Amino acid sequence: MKSTRAESSLSIILPCFNEQDTIDPLCKQIRFLHPDAEIIVVDDGSSPEISSIEGATILRHPYNIGNGASIKTGARAASGDVMVFMDADGQHAAKDIARLLAKIEDGYDMVVGSRSAKTQASFSRLLANTGFNRLASLMTGYHIEDLTSGFRAARAKAFKNFLYLLPNRFSYPTTSTMAFFRNGYSVTYVPIEANRRNSDSQSNISIIKDGIRFLIIILKIGALFSPMRLFLPISAVLFSIATVYYGYTYINESRFTNMSALLYVSSLIIFLIGVLSEQVSSLHYRNSEERRRRTDS
């Protein structure tokens, strides 16, 4: 069923790398359901390159830069007030776009398609994504259902405020989700059933290598937007260990050891780093608000 809402301000961005077999059918489905939407396909160095797709604008990278770089290229070129991002490999269904847009119309700034457990690529990825979701929830203070889903809709003005934060590789969903939460934008989730990846379109994500990369990015974003959520627990753990160790040595040796001193000093240093990081974070918030006001004006 075709959408009847006005979509002159909708841009749909499809990063694509060697997905020639799935991109054209997907664009046809999108055009049928959302005939007034702007469709932007970002060819990230595919071989052979994507020559043309009816009804879509094709932007090309001269070589493979990464999924995040494709997202940034598409977002900069998009003219719509609302942007939808989805994978070009057939995982995401065009019919679900309307469900994301309905939440945008309800007032949310970002809507993420949350994949069910049975549609995760493998058990190892399900386990890894569950861990990422919980850690990111701790860092932001908000419940995050699907941190790494690439299927999402966002208000263009808000999303473009964070383009400078997005990495060039695979973790743009991680960064954008956490940035939206920590800057006071509203985020919600819509459950989706993701299709199995097309057999000719293999994932370029390494569980170990990119898992470590996701973890580092979560910690970096947490340190940038909510430093004390990262540094205070570490400081508290070291302080507790120092106190327990000091109690043990005092009872058994009646003295204050160098190790106890080192642990106490480490705890204090980490706490002070957290305080300093909070000050830097406050400056970032102020700069973000200034960019937001300039964009809104």
Residue at 44: amino acid letter: D
Helices (H) and strands (E) in the chain — how many of each?
A: 9, 7
Strand partners, 43: 16, 60
Range with lowest mean pLDDT among 28-32, 135-139, 164-168, 196-200: 196-200
10-223 fold? Spore Coat Polysaccharide Biosynthesis Protein SpsA; Chain A (3.90.550)
Range with lowest mean pLDDT among 49-53, 82-86, 122-126: 122-126
The span from the CA of 197 to the CA of 97, in Å, is 18
Between 202 and 82, the more confident residue is 82
> Looking at residue 287, what is its pLDDT?
63
DSSP string, 45-64: S-SSPP---TTEEEEEESS-
Query: SS3 string of 237-279?
Result: HHHHHHHHHHHHHHHHHCCCCHHHHHHHHHHHHHHHHHHHHHH
- The whole-number average pLDDT for the span 118-128 is 64
DSSP 3-state of 133: helix
Share of residues in the chain with pLDDT > 70 (%): 82
Ranges of each domain in the chain:
10-223, 227-296
Q: State which of 165-174, 199-208, 213-222 shows the largest mean pLDDT.
A: 165-174
Which has the closest alpha carbon to 68: 160, 153, 155, 175?
175
Q: Is pLDDT above 80 for 53?
A: yes
- Give the CA angle between residues 120, 34, 48 to the nearest 5°: 65
> Looking at residue 115, what is its pLDDT?
86
- Which pTM value belongs to this model? 0.78
The span from the CA of 94 to the CA of 231, in Å, is 42
